[in-house]
Structure 1
Amino acid sequence: MRIFPKLLLILLLTSAMVLSLLYALMQWSFDRGMLNYVNQRQLQSMQLLSDNLANFYQEKGSWDDLVASSLQRPPPPRRGNRPSAHRPNQHRPSQQRDNDSRGNGPLEPGITRFGSREFGKRDVGQREFELRPPPPRLRINRTDIDYWPMLLALSAQGLHYPEDAGKQMDNRSAGSRNELRVTLLSQDKQRLIGRFKDNYNSKTILLNGDIIGYIALPPSKALTDEFDIAFVAENNQSIAVIIAGVFVLIFIITLPLSRHFVLPITKLKKAVVKLNRGELQTRLQVVGRDELATLARNFNDLAATLEQNEDSRKRWLADISHELRTPLAIVKGEIEAMEDGIRPLNKAGLQSLSEEVAHLQKLINDLNELTNAEIGALRYQKSTLDLTLLVSQSVERHQTILDKGGLLVNAAFTDQPLMVWADETRLHQLLDNVFANCLKYTDAPGKVFVTLTRNKQKAEIIIEDSAPAVPESALAKLFEHLYRVESSRNRKTGGSGLGLALCKNIVYAHQGSIEAFSSKQGGLGIKITLPLN
């Protein structure tokens, strides 16, 4: 599978998981909030009972009579055998006759019958008291809250219970009936009537601003009202539709976004294929500063390096061919001259041939040594040594030959030893090549300046000579293979052009650096930096 469908699939799956989790959390949060709302709504529906209980407490001064009456209350009326006073227009004749025989005939004006009791605004030995009916918008839900036992206890104390309240409590659908029971608590939350647990929701009963008790209800654990269930289902459906719309929107956004991210990778893949075919001029357009842009820049650097190496290889082969062709042509010409009798076959002729063969052998040895250094085959036997002592010994060894060439040597070394981890033989070879370069290209009489100093944790060797100078454009090319400043490739005025290239490889093998600069003495300066041990 390609990276584009992989990326698209990963983004879509991640989005689907996040949206599913979001939907579940929203549904859980809404259901929990809905349950809290239902519980609070049930408590608010107890306001009428709270007011009646407050009036009862104001009349009696305590809950004792209510508690005692609740212990002796008749069983709560069931749907189907509710007291006839609640349905005065639905009595059957047989029931009417039974009521008349029991003394339950027509009521006097102002009298209300509740169960088998008759009470109202007549004197029952106590002060008149009337239960207020619920307001029109706050009807008591008999099926939601079962507080009949408490109302029966109130009626047992001779309190007036409105005739239409029973209808209001009974006119509910049987399917939404709940078996909740109201609990009466004292002001210190001690149970008086009903059951009580710590997780019950409670509502205060206030009298003149003081708490005289609590009405407690068990919390609902699930929705039972048909309207609430339908509302929650509709809300969940709306959330699901919104989540689905968001997922579609994410898909629409993710599709072009994935293509945008994959496009640089596709271009890089095509560029690598071209580079593999040998098209070293291939480059990528770099846009931005992200990781893909960095990768594109690195690819361009790699392509440029490969192209440069290919050019160097071609130039290297051409230079080697030229360097080998010249001495071979001379040797061949002298031998043919001797064969033709143009030159006598004597000791002088053989000496000339020997010099050309020696030059050819030295060139081949230099090429072999340089190649070994570049491929890592050149062996180094490193040890801790004093660089100050090594440089001073090298200057003394070259003092005589430099004096014969008309060059005066001035050396300045630091007094303290500079210990380095290096191969002594290779460092002598390094200095030999630099001094040989000074001897070949410096005009006599001239000067050579050698300094050795310490710069923090590095040792610096600087070798400068006098005129002639090297052009600024040629300084960076001095360490390339077979490069020489003069274009005539005169073997008498210069070497093969491999000395400084070999010096660079030796310095790099010691984790150092080497650079060429224009000397203040009018010639060339070479700066060698090596890390101290």
Structure 2
Amino acid sequence: MRFGISTRLFLAILATSALTVLLVSGATRWNFERGFLGYLNELAVERMDTVLPRLTQAYAQHRDWAFLGEPSRPWYKLLRPGPDEPLPPGGLDEALPPDLTGALSRLGLLDDRQRWVAGYRSIDMTMQHRAVVVDGRTVGWLVLAPFQSVADGGDQRFAIGQWRTTLVAALVAVLLAGLIAWWVSHRLLAPVKQIAAATHQLTRGQHDVRVPVHGSDEVAQLGRDFNRMAQTLARNEEARRAFMADVSHELRTPLAVLRGELEALEDGIRPLNQAAVSSLQGEVRQLGKLVDDLYDLALSDVGALTYHMEPVDLVDLVGRTSTTHARSFETAGLQFTLKLPDSAAAVEADPARLQQLFDNLLSNSRLYTETPGQVTLALSAAPGSWQIEVQDSPPGLPIEQLAQLFERFFRGENSRNRATGGAGLGLAIARNIVAAHGGQIEARPSPLGGVSIRVKLPRLETAS
């Protein structure tokens, strides 16, 4: 039989409380009996001290102990004060201490040779004893047999009453502990059960499930973390579906064009000439670039994109990249401006990946900038880093869309769309490359009216 966590917690708290009560009760009883027996023996010693003067006086009167064997039972008379005996300053209470314990019945008398004379028989000189001295000579010994347990004394009923009281208190304590354990197990674990139930729903794909959160303790923090996790999973699921839809769309478009071109060639509608082959190669290149971008993006997402770090001069790299793109800007009817510092700009980087980064940034501006327009690439120094900024002219993007610019397959509405642009993967790849180099990338409105992409890469400190 398997118990739930509430039942197990309840039983654990109840068992711990019950064990604690039993240990405390046992220790209390043991300590009570030890202390109570000591108290009984102290009372008995006081009683013995009040009897000793009478024994001394009786021996001085009779000159031996033979009178104790008379039928009149003089031994028991000696244990109590006589009517003519003067009382001590404390009165009758001091002369006759309470004997509810039965201490008098445990007093015995030995003669000067330590032979039993009267009273309690099971006595010896190892017990509490007092010498009976007459005329400077020890004529006998008054011996007290100690109490070995509470049951030996007249106060057994008192001890039983104490034990019963302790038992009742223990039962009440266990009952209260059970009630508290039940309350704690249900009150404390109720939100945990809610989180467990919500987790089962989450595993079944219900990403909209949330748990109520109350308070600020660890359980409440767990609930908040669960809600954030569910929200993140919901966003990831939406992104996955959007990604699959975008990939399908991006792959379908060039494949549809290729299929149409091939069918036209097959039916003889279009002649097989250089123009037809060039058109087919263009669609294949676009499809190949999309596949390559998806592959690079997948590798960069999981950190598997290889990087070979070495000192790189950004002035030289940016200059060579700009030269490569200058002709394409001119062909697109765009004015391209390059601004470089006079001195070297050293960074620790993979030159091939930085080349890919700059290619993506410049290609993005060339594809989305309307003609006639202008694009500016500037390299400048910033505190602790080198800053590369690409600015273009209209069209721009609304402020709220700039933060989405680095998401995969994102393309702004209206003019910045697929009609003029690519698949929307270049800036997502650029973001991952910058992150792998310990840098930062951000998008903001351009002073030229379009979009400005700013990249910061850590400087490489060289020895002077």
Contact 1:515–1:526 (8 Å) recurs in 2: yes
- Whether contact under 8 Å (1:146, 1:181) holds in the other structure is no
In 2, the alpha carbon distance for the partners of 1:276 and 1:338 equals 51
User: Distance in 2 between the 1:416 and 1:216 partners?
Assistant: 109
Q: 1:325 aligns with which of 228, 252, 260?
A: 252
Contact preservation (8 Å) 1:451, 1:461: yes
Counterpart CA distance in 2 for 1:77 and 1:465 is 133
In the alignment, the residues of structure 1 paired with residue 251 and residue 406 of structure 2 have an alpha-carbon distance, to the nearest angstrom, of 20
- The structure whose Rg is larger is 1
Q: Which residue of 1 aligns with 2:389?
A: 463
Q: Give the structure 2 partner of residue 380 of structure 1.
A: 306
Q: How far apart, CA to CA, are the structure 2 residues paired with 1:36 and 1:431? A: 96
CA distance in 1, matches of 2:211, 2:353: 42
**Counterpart position of 1:136:** 92
Match of 2:405 among 478, 482, 487: 478
Distance 1:248 1:531 in 2: 71
- Kindly indicate whether the alpha-carbon contact (under 8 Å) linking 1:480 and 1:501 is maintained by their aligned counterparts in 2: yes
Q: Which residue of 2 aligns with 1:395?
A: 318
- Note the C-alpha offset of 1:15: 1.0
TM-score, normalising length from structure 1?
0.65
Contact 2:107 2:145 in 1 (8 A): no
Residue pair 1:515, 1:527 contacting (<8 A) in 2 also: yes
Within 5 A, what are the aligned runs for 1:36-115? Answer: 36-42=38-44, 44-45=46-47, 48=50, 74=64, 81=69, 86=74
What are the superposed Cα offsets for residues 89-138 of structure 1, whole Å, 9 maximum, x if unpaired?
9xxxxxxxxxxxxxxxxxxxxxxxx9xxxxxxxxxxxxxxx963564334
SS at match of 1:524: strand
Structure 1 residue 183: deviation in Å? 4.0
The SS at the match of 1:227 is coil
State the secondary structure of the residue aligned to 2:104: coil
Structure 2 residue matching 1:451: 3-state secondary structure: strand
- For residue 259 of structure 1, what is the amino acid of its counterpart? H
Change (3 A) 1:175 1:442: farther
1:363–1:496 Cα contact (<8 Å) kept: yes
Q: Which amino acid aligns with 2:287?
A: L
CA distance in 1, matches of 2:300, 2:225: 27
Whichever residue aligns with residue 391 of structure 1, its letter is: L
The equivalent of 1:450 in structure 2 is 379
Q: Which moved more, 1:429-438 or 1:230-239?
A: 429-438
TM-superposed deviation, 1:409:
2.3
**Partner of 1:118 in structure 2?**
none
Q: Say whether 1:355 aligns with 2:311.
A: no
Distance verdict in 2 for CA 1:323–1:279, change over 3 Å: same
Q: CA deviation at 1:350?
A: 2.9
Provide closer, same or farther for how the CA distance between residues 381 and 175 of structure 1 changes in structure 2, counting only shifts above 3 A: farther
Does the alignment pair 1:240 with 2:201? no
- For residues 128-207 of structure 1, the aligned pairs below 5 Å read 132-133=86-87, 135-137=91-93, 138-139=95-96, 143=104, 146=107, 181-183=128-130
Kindly indicate whether the alpha-carbon contact (under 8 Å) linking 1:512 and 1:531 is maintained by their aligned counterparts in 2. no
Give the 3-state SS of the residue equivalent to 1:288 in structure 2.
coil
Distance in 1 of aligned mates of 2:350 and 2:195: 44
Residues in 2 aligned to 1:88 and 1:40: alpha-carbon distance in whole angstroms = 21
Tell me the CA shift for residue 518 of structure 1. Answer: 4.0
8 Å Cα contact 2:6-2:189 kept in structure 1: yes
- Counterparts of 2:105 and 2:365 in 1: how far apart (Å)? 111
Choose which of 315, 337, 343 in structure 2 pairs with 1:408: 337
Q: Distance in 1 between matches of 2:445 and 2:64?
A: 121
Tell me whether 1:295 sits opposite 2:222 in the alignment.
yes
Range moving further from structure 2, 228-237 or 300-309: 300-309
Aligned residues: 421
Deviations 1:213-258 (A, max 9, x none): xx99997654365332221121011101110111112212322321
8 A contact 1:394–1:428 mirrored in 2: yes
Q: Deviations over 1:58-78 (max 9, x none)?
A: xxxxxxxx9xx99xx855976
| Structure 1 stretch displaced more, 32-41 or 281-290 | 32-41
Q: Does structure 2 conserve the Cα–Cα contact (< 8 Å) formed by 1:144 and 1:177?
A: no
| Equivalent position amino acid for 2:43 in 1 | R
Q: Is the 8 A contact 1:461 1:529 kept in 2?
A: yes
SS of 1:364's equivalent? Answer: helix
Distance 1:515 1:351, change over 3 A: same
Match of 1:268 in 2: 195
For the 8 Å contact 1:466–1:521, the answer to whether it is kept is: yes
Q: Comparing 343-352 with 318-327, which one deviates more in the overlay?
A: 343-352
Residues in 2 aligned to 1:260 and 1:414: alpha-carbon distance in whole angstroms: 69
Aligned-pair RMSD on alpha carbons?
Answer: 4.4
Equivalent residue runs for 1:13-24 within 5 Å = 13-24=15-26
Give % identity.
32
Pairwise CA distance, 1:483: 1.0
CA distance in 1, matches of 2:343, 2:224: 44
